[in-house]
Chains A and B, each alone.
Chain A
């Protein structure tokens, strides 16, 4: 056997830069976030409340326009403990990404769960939004630092 040589490697960068528009409905949602509020939309037919809103009901196929302000509290409907670090990761591993159904909403959206050991997080846990300092609010869900368990909350 010859001496084992290190395999030659190259780095091949892949980059895609694009302009993204979330559309009218989600733009209104993001502007409400910049004011410290959660605003979804209710379907005129099935009455389901979507947040973030997409401007139409995926079940009924009709436009949605009625806006509904939602609570800052919600329930964890699913979660994932992230143990694998990757490039560009904002939070140190392990951390928990969860879908949270805000009170009054009919679908969940993703955010981080913090201020609790990751192995105590469970489906049904009541959580509340923790906003960043007001000076850091903008039209992005990053205006919310994370969600944390509601003090003395009972599971939904």
Chain B
């Protein structure tokens, strides 16, 4: 029997999905490119962001698309102390659910808080926009704590 250690190798699984946005999410991404957050207002008055074409409660078409401010509140978060190579930031950050002001749902994004001690549920955050839009969710580069 050989006393050699078992082998080990780095494996990478990677897929690029190309997906159609549909009219509602297309409006959301067009908004991001113009540094604007777009949500959907349902017939009952609930505001969903990112927008969906239908009210998830009733299945009805949403009533209209609405512009929203680029500020919001962290509803929950998880600190990433060792970012992975493909993470959006190369320094420690938080994944967070952020309820945009005026919206009734929260969206997943990144908070660049520098240190975990600056993170808290209920904290207010503001969008930091990418210098150049590329047609991705990272046209909104991340959120940062508001003073």
Contacts and interface: CB of A to CB of B under 8 A. Distances in A.
Contact of A7 (B1, B8, B14, B21): B21
9 contacts: A8-B26, A10-B136, A11-B17, A13-B15, A17-B11, A19-B10, A19-B11, A20-B10, A65-B1
Contact of A30 (B7, B13, B14, B85): B7
Residue of B5, B7, B10, B11 with highest tally of chain A CB at under 10 A = B7
A16 B85 CA distance: 10
A14 to B, nearest CB: 5
A15 interface: yes
B21 A12 contact: no
Interface in B1-59: 1-2, 4-22, 26, 29-30
Nearest to B136: A10
Interface of B: 1-2, 4-22, 26, 29-30, 84-86, 135-136
Given A17-B84, A21-B7, A65-B1, A7 B13 contact: no
Given A13-B17, A14-B13, A19-B10, 5 more contacts: A8-B30, A14-B15, A15-B15, A19-B9, A65-B1
B26 A13 contact: no
B6 A21 contact: yes
Interface string A14-28: 111111111110111
B7 to A, nearest CB: 4
A89 B9 CA distance: 20
Interface in A1-58: 7-24, 26-28, 30-31
B129 to A, nearest CB: 17
A36 B145 CA distance: 59
A139 interface: yes
A65 B2 CA distance: 11
A60 interface: no
